[in-house]
Structure 1
Amino acid sequence: MQAILDAIGSGFLSVMGFIGLNADLMDRYGLRFLDGVWVTLKLVLLSVFLGALLALPLAVARVEGGKFLARASFVYSYFFRGTPLLAQTFLIYYGAGQFREQLTDIGLWWFFRDAFNCALFTFTLNTAAYQSEILRGGIQSLPAGQMEAAQSLGLSRVLAYRKVVLPQAFAVGLRPLGNELVLMIKSSAIASVITVYDLMGVTRLAFSRSYDMEVYLWAAALYLIMVEIVRRVWDVLERRLNRHMLVSR
């Protein structure tokens, strides 16, 4: 993670130096911007990881679940993909306050009273819906003979999913999953509206004190650098994991 922050910091300074940096503004807010990058990365990476854990059973439920589980998974995905992330964030952040007594009674108010935790919870639920649809598409794109061949070798259905189906589904969905990660980086700016001091939150704070529009240029450059790093890393990852597909072509 420190290596990523160092790469973002050096890239940021290079871009800002090229376009003509306001040195006084950088002295006052430069370190806070890098702190905001750290919060953004922590929010995005945690939510995408936790969302992946939730997406897996949701995707399998869509394909293998009975009538009830398949419909419940569809309703979950339909709601979180069909409503704005901003509305979902407000619903969790402000809605949790309406149930403070109940959440206190069950020992969860400590979690929901923190804006970062509310953003993390909302982003996890949101990205899980998108990731589950990507995995479902990957599973259903595989020939039915894959499962039949695995079971003919004596593998149980669960083991066949673990050893045969899911690795191929992840490989098929690798590019869309990378796109989802990029979208989450850009969508993370929404967290700033509930007082999370991520990159956009720090930008808004810096602008409110300096009234210098240059800080928004800094934010745009930092988001661009993060996205470019993810894109390049994902390209390498995709080439290494899908080498057998490239050879077969």
Structure 2
Amino acid sequence: MIDWTFLAEVATALAPGIPLTLELAAIAVVSGFLLAAPLAFAAVHGGSVGRGIAAAYVFVFRGSPLLVQIFLIYYGLGQFRPFWQQVGLWGVMREPWWCAILALTLNTAAYGSEVLRGALLSVPHGQIEAARACGMSGPLLLRRIVAPIALRAALPGYGNEIVLMVKGTALASVITLMEVTGIAGKLIAETFRAVEVFVVAGAIYLAINVVLTRAIAALETRLMRHHLPFEPPEPAGDITHG
């Protein structure tokens, strides 16, 4: 028998962790995008040096597990306390919240830069040449031609990365952050009912991602509305005049 009363109690107990989950995901996605954009631009237009730096960054952060990165930042960098105190950042590096944000940001930037790099490469070269022939400078060309086309092309892939980042916030619980998974672990230790607790936690993540995917799909439809094939209206029926 399903204990609906217990499931409702678990949902109520896990609800306070939702804001922290959303906060971690939102900050990591935004800051990760701000880092991914220059990395992608360097990978496409940065010459051999820029491509090398971007490739090395992607290789390290995309090739290693996010959990290991969180451990290295929280436990590894925390060992250099004298250095962080000297530069005035010990108050940041000793906080699990900041370490989680840093790890999530660096990780999503690696994946996001590859999505943006592919989007930049998908911009038709003919449109770039036509814009240059019209006298557009570099910044104007980027703002009016390259960025709009690339962002539309990157949206589906970047939407997937946003969903993955929401799920990735669950790993922040390993450094004592009480988001949804962290609270779930505490409840399991108290009740010894792992299945029910994780079912509710999974349902919460699923609900969040359903809302996100719907929002991303709506945004994609809005951005692509001018590129949909035109369908002429059906002709009206015959009208007879008396």
* Fold similarity call, TM over 0.5: yes
Question: In the alignment, what sits opposite 2:57?
Answer: 76
2-side partners of 1:51 and 1:21: how far apart?
41
Indicate the structure with greater helix content: 1
Change (3 A) 1:21 1:246: farther
What are the within-5 Å matches in structure 2 for residues 113-132 of structure 1? 113-132=94-113
Could you tell me whether the CA contact under 8 Å between 2:25 and 2:165 is conserved in 1?
Answer: yes
Could you tell me whether the CA contact under 8 Å between 2:32 and 2:112 is conserved in 1?
Answer: yes
TM-score w.r.t. structure 1 length? 0.87
Could you tell me whether the CA contact under 8 Å between 2:173 and 2:182 is conserved in 1?
Answer: yes
2-side partners of 1:67 and 1:145: how far apart?
24
Question: In the alignment, what sits opposite 2:115?
Answer: 134
1:208 counterpart = 2:189: yes
Question: In the alignment, what sits opposite 2:227?
Answer: 245
1-side partners of 2:3 and 2:45: how far apart?
56
TM-score w.r.t. structure 2 length? 0.90
Paired letter, 2:92: F
TM-aligned CA deviation for residue 231 of structure 1: 1.1
Paired letter, 1:222: I
Runs (4+) off by over 6 Å: none
1-side partners of 2:18 and 2:110: how far apart?
25
Question: In the alignment, what sits opposite 1:13?
Answer: none
Larger Rg: 2
Could you tell me whether the CA contact under 8 Å between 2:11 and 2:200 is conserved in 1?
Answer: no
Percent of residue pairs identical: 42
Paired letter, 1:230: L
1-side partners of 2:174 and 2:183: how far apart?
11
TM-aligned CA deviation for residue 24 of structure 1: 5.2
Q: 1:55 aligns with which of 26, 32, 36?
A: 36
Question: In the alignment, what sits opposite 1:176?
Answer: 157
Match of 1:173, SS? helix
Question: In the alignment, what sits opposite 1:162?
Answer: 143
**Structure 1: 5+ residue runs without aligned partners?**
1-18
Provide, for residues 97-121 of structure 1, a one-character-per-residue CA deviation record: whole Å limited to 9, x for no partner.
1111101110111111111110111
Paired letter, 2:26: L
Aligned CA RMSD, in angstroms, stands at 1.7
Paired letter, 2:146: V
